[in-house]
A = this chain, B = another copy of it.
């Protein structure tokens, strides 16, 4: 298969700045390593849905405020 589909963007760096949260702190709150946060923040790969929710929870915002998907 391989729809290649749409594009996923994120506002993690903006939210981190807004909530004054370091990559390390976010990683700990989300239960992943700092490398994982870096890679997702930079769009290197797509997180799992649960990690998406964990990151949103870390900021206390809806998942749609962190990630945007457009086909």
Contact = CB atoms under 8 A, between A and B. Distances in A.
Contacts of A51: 49
A61 interface: no
A50 B33 contact: no
Interface residues of A, number: 26
A21 interface: no
Name, among A50, A63, A71, the residue most crowded by chain B CB atoms within 10 Å (CB to CB). A50
A48 B48 contact: yes
Contact of A48 (B31, B47, B62, B71): B47
10 contacts: A2-B31, A3-B32, A3-B54, A6-B50, A46-B48, A46-B49, A48-B48, A52-B52, A53-B69, A63-B63
